[in-house]
Amino acid sequence: MWVFKRPQFGDQIRVNRGLYYHHGIYRDDFCVYQFAVPGGKDIDPENARVCICTLEDFLKGGEVEVREYTEEEKKVKRNPLQVIMYAQDHLGEAGYDVLRNNCEHFSNRCVFDGKQKTQVDEIINNIMEAIRK
């Protein structure tokens, strides 16, 4: 579940970009880890990297949403320092793929170190369900 509230150190955050949500990891107002084009405004998979931006740049005028975890998720998630350390260790990582390795996948790996269902997974599941009908 996602809620509009002030993020804290190690929180998984997102912002609505119209057709999709952009995800990141919040350290502080001056450091949000994201999988995007460093300093860029365009979606460019070839140049996307795990990089740092400010919260203001991450939001681009949108409102921050913070992930709240289920009891099941809380049992397997990393603590905030581990989340930040994982994100920091992956700075500069490339290999962006909209279906298999996007900003939401990166954010989930930071928190869970495993595959979590993403918005892309939901879309694919809905398409497959419609095809089967």
Contact criterion met (CB below 8 Å) for 124 and 102: no
| Fold assignment, 2-132 | endopeptidase fold (from Nostoc punctiforme) (3.90.1720)
Rounded percentage of the chain residues whose pLDDT exceeds 90: 75
Q: pTM of the prediction?
A: 0.86
Q: E strand or H helix at 49, and its extent? A: strand 49-53
Half-sphere exposure of 58 (CA within 13 A, CB side): 30
pLDDT tens readout for residues 17-32: 999 999 999 999 999 9
From first CA to last CA, the distance across the chain in angstroms is 29
CA distance 28 to 56: 11
**Mean pLDDT value across residues 37-65:** 91
Domain ranges for the chain: 2-132
CA gap 50, 34 in Å, rounded = 5
